[in-house]
């Protein structure tokens, strides 16, 4: 699953017949040492990987995914399989370090905007731009990880495991979009923690998480006080740097708050798109990184290096690096 292999593909990669593989899966037969070596090679793991306890899967229903086609579902399952291994990585960290206790409140009865305001008050963030969303989430007990880059068409997602919130971010996006995604996932944790993540209601949930992120990053009263009515594109670009959001998210927020008319909104979007702001963020900020993982992996006194983790989990070092890709400096 982690490699997105079908049984047939694994059979040809390992030179073990599909029937035999099925027998192993069902526990009807035990592989020989020689077969284990073949399977290990085909799956790019050391043979000791198979000596570990079974890994608890992350069910698709745990995360807020949109309805996916069959091909995308295989890709999603690969992402979820990697996520399950990333949880093992965090378990290794927690066997050596004390991580912040989870402190994300549940406001599932509130409208997204109210929930965002309440969290700002609860965490005494005032009306100011949030300096670093990743550091903030980590300080509230959220465990961050990078989602599998082979599948970066899959968006960020989050879920609780044993009351601990995990957020997987697409770290190939611009800094501003990663911040928005992190705030969006916080929205899911706050608003939807109790809900069954049924794909049929995902559209509504996504809209709510976006509304939460927008309010959380650009609080209404503060934006209203900035005299942005009918703002020019240049003015929007100044504001997006202040709030550390994408120019598109800023424009959307201004329209949402009635500070831009429909016509002004559309024309700002067109101008921004022409200047490349739809996909990228010219003149944007430096991406945020993880404080927690940096301390754990680069700590002066105690540290867990990539090779320590790779050995503890019986996985290739490159794979461990992928779990934290762009969240920590590359030399870890």
The residues of the shown chain that bind Zn ion, judged by CB under 5 A, are 64, 206, 209
Task: State in angstroms the smallest separation of the CB of 112 from Zn ion.
Answer: 12
Residue 284 tokens read as: 């944007």
Task: State in angstroms the smallest separation of the CB of 135 from Zn ion.
Answer: 21
User: Is residue 242 within 8 Å of residue 250, measured between CB atoms?
Assistant: no
User: Which residue's CB is nearer to Zn ion, number 119 or number 320?
Assistant: 119
User: Which residue's CB is nearer to Zn ion, number 89 or number 212?
Assistant: 212
User: Which residue's CB is nearer to Zn ion, number 14 or number 64?
Assistant: 64
User: Which residue's CB is nearer to Zn ion, number 45 or number 173?
Assistant: 173
- CA separation (Å) from 61 to 19, 39, 185, 193, 284? 30, 29, 15, 12, 35
User: Which residue's CB is nearer to Zn ion, number 47 or number 110?
Assistant: 110
**Alpha-carbon dihedral sign for residues 10, 14, 16, 21:** negative
Task: State in angstroms the smallest separation of the CB of 213 from Zn ion.
Answer: 9
**What is the number of alpha carbons within 13 Å of residue 194 lying toward its C-beta?**
6
- CA separation (Å) from 225 to 114, 187, 214, 222, 312? 19, 24, 16, 5, 53
Task: State in angstroms the smallest separation of the CB of 187 from Zn ion.
Answer: 8
Task: State in angstroms the smallest separation of the CB of 184 from Zn ion.
Answer: 5
User: Is residue 156 within 8 Å of residue 181, measured between CB atoms?
Assistant: yes
- Which residues have CB under 8 Å from 19's CB, separation 6+? none
User: Is residue 272 within 8 Å of residue 247, measured between CB atoms?
Assistant: yes
Residue 249 tokens read as: 């998210």
Task: State in angstroms the smallest separation of the CB of 197 from Zn ion.
Answer: 9
User: Which residue's CB is nearer to Zn ion, number 92 or number 170?
Assistant: 170
Task: State in angstroms the smallest separation of the CB of 111 from Zn ion.
Answer: 17
User: Which residue's CB is nearer to Zn ion, number 64 or number 171?
Assistant: 64
Residue 35 tokens read as: 């077969």
End-to-end CA distance of the chain: 27
């Amino acid at each position: 699953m982690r490699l997105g292999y079908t049984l047939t593909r694994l059979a040809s990669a390992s030179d073990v017949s599909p029937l035999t593989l099925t027998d192993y899966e069902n526990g009807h037969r035990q592989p020989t040492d020689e077969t284990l070596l073949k399977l290990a090679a085909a799956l790019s793991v050391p043979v000791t990987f198979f000596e570990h306890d079974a890994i608890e899967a992350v069910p698709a229903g745990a995360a807020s995914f949109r309805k996916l086609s069959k091909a995308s579902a295989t890709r999603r399952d690969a992402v979820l399989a990697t996520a399950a291994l990333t949880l093992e990585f965090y378990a290794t960290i927690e066997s050596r370090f004390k991580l912040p206790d989870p402190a994300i409140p549940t406001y599932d009865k509130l409208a997204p905007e109210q929930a965002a305001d309440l969290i700002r008050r609860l965490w005494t963030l005032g009306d100011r731009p949030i300096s670093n969303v990743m550091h903030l989430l980590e300080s509230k007990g959220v465990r961050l990880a990078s989602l599998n880059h082979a599948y970066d068409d899959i968006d960020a997602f989050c879920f609780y495991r044993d009351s601990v919130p995990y957020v997987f971010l697409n770290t190939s996006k611009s800094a501003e979009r990663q911040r928005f995604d992190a705030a969006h996932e916080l929205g899911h944790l706050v608003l939807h923690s109790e809900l069954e993540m049924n794909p049929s209601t995902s559209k509504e949930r996504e809209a709510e998480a976006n509304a939460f992120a927008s309010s959380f990053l650009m609080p209404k009263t503060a934006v209203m006080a900035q005299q942005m009515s009918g703002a020019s594109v240049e003015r929007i670009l100044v504001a997006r740097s202040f709030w550390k959001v994408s120019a598109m998210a800023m424009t959307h927020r201004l329209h949402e708050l009635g500070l831009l008319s429909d016509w002004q909104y559309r024309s700002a979007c067109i101008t921004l798109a022409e200047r490349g702001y739809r996909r990228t963020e010219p003149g944007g900020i430096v991406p945020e990184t993880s404080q927690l993982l940096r301390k754990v992996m680069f700590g002066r006194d105690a540290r867990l290096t990539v090779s320590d983790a790779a050995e503890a989990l019986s996985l290739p070092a490159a794979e461990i690096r992928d779990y934290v890709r762009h969240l920590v400096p590359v030399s870890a």
